[in-house]
Chain A
Amino acid sequence: MAAVIPDHLHDHHHGPTGLMRWITTTNHKDIGTMYMIFSFIMFLSGGVMALTIRAELFQPGLQVVQPEFFNQLTSMHGLVMVFGAIMPAFVGFANWQIPLMIGASDMAFARMNNWSFWLLPPAALLLLGSFFVPGGAMAAGWTMYAPLSVQMGMGMDMAIFAVHIMGISSIMGAINIVVTVLNMRAPGMTMMKMPLFCWTWLITAYLLIAVMPVLAGAVTMVLTDRHFGTSFFNAAGGGDPVLYQHVFWFFGHPEVYIMILPAFGIISEIIPTFARKPLFGYASMVYATASIAILSFTVWAHHMFTTGMPAVGQLFFMYATMLIAVPTGVKVFNWVATMWRGSMTFETPMLWATGFIFVFTIGGFTGLICAIAPIDIQLQDTYYVVAHFHYVLVAGSLFALFAGAYYWLPKWTGHMADERLGKIHFWCSMVFFNITFFPMHFLGLAGMPRRIPDYALQFADFNALATIGAFGFGFSQLIFIVVVIKCVKGGEKAAARSWEGAQGLEWTVPSPAPHHTFEVPPVVK
């Protein structure tokens, strides 16, 4: 790194070296890199769990794992992917990009930023370590529903404390992002001139601060019900197991927007670049993002249509949920309108972004289908739901993360990523993703329940197909490791403005971005 630091900045950089550099760093780029490496390791860990699940489901009967272990795998796959892979990856992007995009010298609280990251490895240790304790890992599903979660062994306690620690990390990270965006913008960078990625992260951070404490409250009540004799989720003592679901989903539904809004931000940066046109309807994008965030607090019980809710409640949550389709539709419309009559090229980031629009929109539509209470009562806890949320979380969040990684890798490493390998990575992912998850719609409609290691014979063909797809998808991700290593080691030199149509402050600094940027803020006209 040292060679690329401009001379006048060189004397500022005299911190610890080696491992201690990474442990003590207060630099947003170092911390962003650590977030991304951590999240990719967790992505592979969660992926191994997913492939074990798919191996078991390759044919009917029990072949690979015991049912108890299967339940641990489905539960931990969810927790690891949500809290270990997707969320930290987006925070990594925020760390790298937000200061570069708004012309700030670093995040507002650089030391706290370091702690936000370094809380994640202990949490991951607790989560993954719980596989090896007596009774094994928590197996109540990633949602940790009571009363099952009240009955589990010590793996459940480890998961609860891991959630607490990740919650602290998320709240500190989110406060840091909010304050950075609100207080550290360069002169002239008004709110409505900010890149959309900063807007989506500002709103995401607001959601995080609002709902992570609610999750902490929910798991704390599980903990006291387990060990201290409280009756929150115990009907005999006047509590209610359904109450857990209400508290959890009051966190859980905003949480799904926490995982998709930054993805919207990344896509909104990439499409204008490769369409060589400004983003269509910038202001409406901002308002749509804010609307989605606010509506997300009013829809939680659509996860609970089968809990015996009064009809009035079902109607309210059904209509409120469908309302979210409006701002989301605005977004998809604006992306398509941005591409309309643009001079489009399809480099790897654009391929991922375009692919995102197709597959994410399918996931959005199946979400609308699930929102309709009478239909959802049929689909609750079937593979249709599994198909739906993997279309939005894998083809939505994960594809956007890959799009963003290919887009900004030149800025991070100073080299262009291997286009050929990147395209192979995209097409393999796209094809295998659909082979894996598209059949699950049919399985769900035919009534195959989720979270069960065995199934009736008539589901065998689609399950075999899904397993083949899953292994294809899993191994395709190894291509990404090759791309990143090649890109770090060498390759075509990236210009400061690495993509012809790229706009924004991050493209005004050299590639790779020097260790310190914008120590004197740029003036935005």
Chain B
Amino acid sequence: MSQTYEKYFVPEPSRYPIFGSIALLLIASGAVMWLNKVGSGPWTLAIGFAVLVYMLFGWFGQVVRESEGGSYGKNVDASFRWSMGWFIFSEVMFFAAFFGVLFYVRVLGLPWLADADNSLLWPGFSAAWPSAGPVVEDPFTPMAAWGIPAINTLILLSSGATLTWAHWGMMKENRGQLKTGLFLTVLLGAIFLTLQVYEYMHAYHEMNLKLTSGIYGSTFFMLTGFHGLHVTIGAIMLTVMLFRVMAGHFTKEHHFAFEATAWYWHFVDVVWLMLFVVVYWL
């Protein structure tokens, strides 16, 4: 806030937001139609995603051009920092809802289902975790912590380290280190996702553990599934950063897109650690 005030960049009118709205309307309508088997749901959904991808490419592309063109000063940079922080906070609260559900079920819900009041309704039901509830139809094997999940923990933690190493490369203006670090991070993310897919297939085919396996299956697949979705998004962001680095974008002083991606990646990392402890281990 000194005497030389820097004009805050306010973008020109843009047609991308309305494409985003049309995309979400198509996606929502398509999903409703598909789930209720009316009309051509899958097609509507697919068109919606296509419009969304067009919007994301166009909008982010414009932001990248504005950023590289020097439109964003210190104030805009500060706005980006605040907003990414608050966005990650909203994501934390999204996961908090599902972690809260797991806590409620294990600490309150199941013991209540098994208590004296309900013993007439479901005699012999005990609140041992993992549980598929009092009406077990299909026995399953719960997921063990010390196999693939433990390896995945190591992989994600290493990816956090390679990403930080890449950031050091950025700060030292060592583009080789930056590229190698980013590439390794994307690779580790891809290995993590591959192992998750393998684990899901194993669960479905050999362990009879499914989304429909009572409350254990519900919480297991929803928590790990939404985490996997976020790893996928993070990996896409990292890939975009890798392409931008290869295109010569970013300087030592000006690379918040990279930092924001790193924040996001560390956030999904921390979520995984909590998942590992409360979903797989305990």
Nearest-neighbor residue (CB-CB) of B87 within chain A: A175
B89 within 8 A of A: yes
> Per a CB cutoff under 8 Å, which of A164, A209, A235, A250 touches B90?
A209
Contact among B87, B96, B133 for A231, CB-based, below 8 A: B133
Given the complex of chains A and B, what is the CA–CA distance between A110 and B66 in angstroms? 14
- Return the contact of B21 from the options A112, A119, A154, A231 (Cβ within 8 A): A119
Interface 0/1 of A220-231, CB less than 8 Å to B:
010010111111
Interface residue ranges of B1-48 to A (CB < 8 Å):
1, 5, 7-8, 10-18, 20-22, 24-25, 28-29, 31-32, 35-36, 38
Measured between alpha carbons, how far is A15 from B104 in the docked complex, in Å? Answer: 53
Contact between B110 and A184 (Cβ–Cβ < 8 Å)? no
Shortest CB-to-CB span from B256 to chain A, Å, is: 14
Interface positions, chain A 139-165, Cβ under 8 Å from B, are: 153-154, 157-158, 161-162, 164-165
Taking the closest CB of chain B, its distance from the CB of A298, in whole angstroms, is 14
A152 to chain B, nearest CB (A): 11
Asked if A235 and B28 sit within 8 Å, CB to CB, the answer is: no
Contact partners of A106 in chain B: CB under 8 A: 8, 10
Interface membership of B192, Cβ < 8 A: no
| 8 Å CB contact of A236 from B14, B75, B134, B216 | B134
Distance between Cα atoms of A246 and B38 in the complex (Å): 33
Partner of B133, one of A111, A228, A237, A250: A237
Which of B76-84, B238-246, B260-268, B269-277 is the interface stretch?
B76-84
Within residues 36 to 82 of chain B, which ones have a CB less than 8 A from any CB in chain A? 36, 38, 59, 75, 78-79, 82
Does chain B have a CB within 8 A of A234?
Answer: yes
Q: Within 8 Å of chain B (Cβ to Cβ): is A18?
A: no
Assess A111 versus B82: contact at CB under 8 Å? Given A238-B132, A239-B105, A239-B133: no
A488 to chain B, nearest CB (A): 23
Using Cβ atoms and an 8 Å threshold, which residues of chain A touch B87? 171, 175
A427 within 8 A of B: no
B131 within 8 A of A: yes
Q: Give Cα A111 to B61, complex, Å.
A: 14
Query: Which residue on chain B has the smallest CB distance to residue A211?
Result: B93
Say yes or no: A115 contacts B32, CB within 8 Å: no
Beta-carbon contact of A154 and B38 below 8 Å: yes
User: Which of chain A's residues 103-125 have a Cβ closer than 8 Å to chain B?
Assistant: 104-106, 108-112, 114-115, 118-119, 121-122, 125
Q: Does B100 lie at the interface of the complex (its beta carbon under 8 Å from any beta carbon of A)?
A: yes
Closest chain A residue to B15 by CB distance?
A: A24
A501: Cβ under 8 A from any B Cβ: no
Residue of A nearest to B16 (CB): A111
Q: What is the CA–CA distance of A81 and B26 in the complex, to the nearest angstrom?
A: 24
Report the count of interface residues on B (CB-CB < 8 A).
65
Is there an interface contact between A26 and B11, defined as CB atoms closer than 8 Å?
yes
Question: Once the chains bind, are B17 and A237 in contact (CB under 8 Å)?
Answer: no
Give the dominant DSSP class at B's interface: helix
Given the known interface contacts A179-B83, A217-B98, A234-B133, the answer about A239 and B218 at a Cβ–Cβ threshold of 8 Å is yes
Q: A24-B14, A237-B215 are in contact. Are A183 and B32 (CB under 8 A)?
A: no
Complex CA–CA separation, A216 to B132 (angstroms): 24
> Nearest chain A CB to B262's CB is how many angstroms away?
19
B8 and A184 form a contact (CB under 8 A): yes
Residues in B neighbouring A16, C-beta threshold 8 A: 13
The listed residue (A109, A112, A114, A126) touching B28 by CB distance below 8 A is A126
Which of chain A's residues have a CB closer than 8 A to the CB of B212?
228-231
A521 at the interface (CB under 8 A from B): yes
Contact B97 A125 (CB under 8 A): no
What sequence of 0s and 1s flags, for each residue 82-119 of chain B, a beta carbon within 8 Å of any chain A beta carbon? 11001101110110111011001100011011000000
In chain A, positions 174-190 with a C-beta closer than 8 Å to chain B are 174-176, 178-179, 182-184, 187-188
A126 touches B104 (CB 8 A): no
**Which residue from chain A places its CB closest to the CB of B98 in the assembled complex?**
A217
Residue numbers in B under 8 Å from A110 (CB-CB): 10-11
Chain A 186-228 near chain B by CB (<8 Å), digits 1 or 0:
0110000000000000000000011111101110010010111
Contact (Cβ within 8 A) B90 A213:
yes
**CB distance B32 to A243 under 8 Å?**
no
A109-B31 in contact (CB<8A): no
**A residues near B11, Cβ cutoff 8 Å:** 26, 110-111
- The interface residues of chain A lying within 8 Å CB-to-CB of B22 are 122
Q: B225: nearest residue on chain A (CB-CB)?
A: A224
The smallest C-beta distance from A26 to any residue of chain B, in angstroms, reads 5
Is A97 interfacial (CB 8 A cutoff)? no
CA distance A158 to B34 in the complex (A): 12
Shortest Cβ distance from B117 into A: residue: A308
A38 to B12, CA, bound (A): 23
B191-225 contact mask (Cβ, 8 Å, vs A): 1 or 0: 00000000000000000001110111111011000
Q: How far is the CA of A104 from the CA of B79 in the complex (A)?
A: 13
Q: Give bound CA distance, A15 to B91, whole Å.
A: 35
Decide if B135 is an interface residue (CB 8 Å cutoff).
yes
Task: Name the contact of A224 in the complex, choosing from B7, B28, B97, B222 (C-beta under 8 A).
Answer: B222
- Bound complex: CA of A218 vs CA of B221, how far in Å? 16
Specify the chain A residue showing the minimal Cβ separation from B28.
A161
Contact of A521 among B5, B15, B18 (CB under 8 A): B5
User: Which of B17, B90, B94, B214 is the one whose CB lies under 8 Å from A238?
Assistant: B214
A67 to B123: give the CA distance in the assembly, Å: 38
Docked-complex contact B17 and A162, CB < 8 angstroms: no
A468 within 8 A of B: no
A247 interface hit (Cβ, 8 Å):
yes
Verify B21–A232 contact, CB threshold 8 A. Answer: no
Question: Are A168 and B24 interface neighbours, CB within 8 A?
Answer: yes
Known contacts A109-B79, A213-B90; A240/B28 CB under 8 A = no
Cβ of A21 within 8 Å of any chain B Cβ, yes or no, is yes
**Bound Cα distance A441, B89 (Å):** 40
Question: Is the Cβ of B218 less than 8 Å from the Cβ of A231?
Answer: yes
12 CB contacts below 8 A, A to B, read A111-B59, A157-B36, A171-B87, A171-B90, A176-B83, A209-B93, A230-B211, A230-B218, A231-B132, A236-B134, A238-B133, A243-B109
Going nearest first, the 10 A-B pairs with the smallest beta carbon separation are A238-B133, A217-B97, A238-B215, A115-B17, A229-B212, A213-B94, A161-B28, A122-B25, A230-B218, A24-B13
